[in-house]
Amino acid sequence: MELTTSFDPEVLALPFYEDSHRRLAEEAGAWCDSNRVLWEEIRSLDPDAAGRRLVRALGAAGWLAELDPRGAPVDDFRAVCLRREALAYAEDLADFAFSIQALAATPLLRFGSEAQRRRYLPGMAAGTLIGAFAVSEKEAGSDVASVGLEAVKDAADGSYVLSGRKAWIANGTIADVFVVIARTGQGPGPLGLSAFLVPASTPGLRVERIDAIAPRSFAHLSFEECRLPADALLGRPGKGFVVAVDLLERFRTTVGAAALGFARRAFDTALAHVLGREAYGATLFDLQLVKASLADMEVQLNAAALLVARAAWETDRGSRRFARHSNIAKVHATEAAQGVVDAAVQLLGAAGIVQGSVTERLYRQIRSLRVYEGTSEVLRMAIAGSLDMRRAARATAA
């Protein structure tokens, strides 16, 4: 039987994890294994129908329960990472459905008022209300501080009028509510941004579907004088940049975890193939260059798993420098996963590129992880900026 999960038990046994995480990994893996019929079903649906079906299924199965503020407060990014790894291994769209729902709910959990949390989060946790997070614009991607979408406050009643555009929004075609970062002008650049909760039904909000390399709900948004009540403001005015950066810094580690899930699936598929494929009177596995390729993949998988575990642990323990570790984990895990998936395609030969095969799907699905939530180049710049210069000073003095 083909397994649909493959956590590395040696990594899970490390002190980065607690017993609750080990149990979660086992349960998440078993759930993914038992849902193969669902994965087949959603691959036959259009991306919007698949997205809705998956968010509901994840909600019904309790995968989103931590988003409900009525439960015990949870700040457990190791758990989010383990869930993403399991889902990415099983089915890209399931990881997408889970991660975007968590991405949209987290600003509400961290910055929302009691009333905002009560209004949106129970539905998001149940999977009956779909969220999306919209910060990017065509002219403001990596440079979040240059967001141009305007929110003008009406002095008469405190309402806001939003005008402008957002780009590349995951869940854009199916979301019921958007967390939107807009310019309210309290200060220049990052100081002039605020976050808003925008129901998809708001008059003046239009959605333009985009077809991506790996089909999913994905869209540009346009706001034509969208009027929002004063209580649509999420967090304090002028703190929108903080809302966005806090979210992205936390979720980067989880992107690394998803990359690990994709890469493990590619590795397992390649290993099964080379063990079974007869060549030269033996199997492909008996060839030294094939073994070297598998060994290189194994090294990359181990390094990625360790970096993700460490970054998630740093986040959960409230380390001041957690963002440095989440940047490192995302850069390495996503870049390594791209290489591992490519190597798996190579080891399968022509069979690796057949449309709809596991490796062909992974080859399309892995690409965007090096772009969203911080491109590899931008994160490298941030990592360089976080280097400890005192070490250099000590080395020079020695």
Ligand X SMILES: Cc1cc2nc3c(=O)[nH]c(=O)nc-3n(C[C@H](O)[C@H](O)[C@H](O)COP(=O)(O)OP(=O)(O)OC[C@H]3O[C@@H](n4cnc5c(N)ncnc54)[C@H](O)[C@@H]3O)c2cc1C
> Considering the rule CB under 6 A, would residue 210 count as an interface residue with ligand X?
no
Q: What is the closest distance, in whole angstroms, from the C-beta atom of residue 377 to ligand X in the complex?
A: 3
| Nearest residue to 207 via CA among 234, 170, 250 | 170
The residue among 285 and 372 lying less far from ligand X, judged by its C-beta, is 372
> Considering the rule CB under 6 A, would residue 134 count as an interface residue with ligand X?
yes
> Considering the rule CB under 6 A, would residue 287 count as an interface residue with ligand X?
no
Secondary structure of 131-153 in the HEC alphabet?
Answer: EEEECCECCECCCHHHCCCEEEE
Restricted to residues 360-389, the positions that interact with ligand X (CB under 6 A) are 368, 371-373, 375, 377-378, 381
> Considering the rule CB under 6 A, would residue 55 count as an interface residue with ligand X?
no
Helix-, strand-, coil-residue percentages of the chain, each rounded to 5: 60, 15, 25
Interface region with ligand X, contact rule CB under 6 A, candidates 41-49, 80-88, 162-170, 289-297: 162-170
CA 20 → CA 98, 139, 205, 241, 346, distances in Å? Answer: 20, 43, 42, 34, 38
Active-site annotation holder among 27, 278, 373, 377: 373
Element (H, E) at 311: helix 288-316
CA 351 to chain centre: 29
Residue closest to ligand X (Cβ): 141
Residue with tokens 């969220």: 131
196 Cβ contact list (under 8 Å, min separation 6): 151, 160, 162, 179, 180, 181, 182, 228, 232, 233, 234
> Considering the rule CB under 6 A, would residue 146 count as an interface residue with ligand X?
no
Q: Is 278 a catalytic residue?
A: no
> Considering the rule CB under 6 A, would residue 219 count as an interface residue with ligand X?
no
Q: 187 — alpha (psi -120 to 50), left (phi > 0) or beta?
A: beta
The residue among 193 and 297 lying less far from ligand X, judged by its C-beta, is 193
Residue from 86, 102, 135, 358 touching ligand X (CB under 6 A): that is 135
Residue from 141, 185, 199, 238 touching ligand X (CB under 6 A): that is 141
Q: What is the closest distance, in whole angstroms, from the C-beta atom of residue 167 to ligand X in the complex?
A: 7
What are the residue numbers of the active site? Answer: 373
In the complex, the residues that contact ligand X under the rule CB under 6 A are 132-136, 141-142, 168-170, 368, 371-373, 375, 377-378, 381
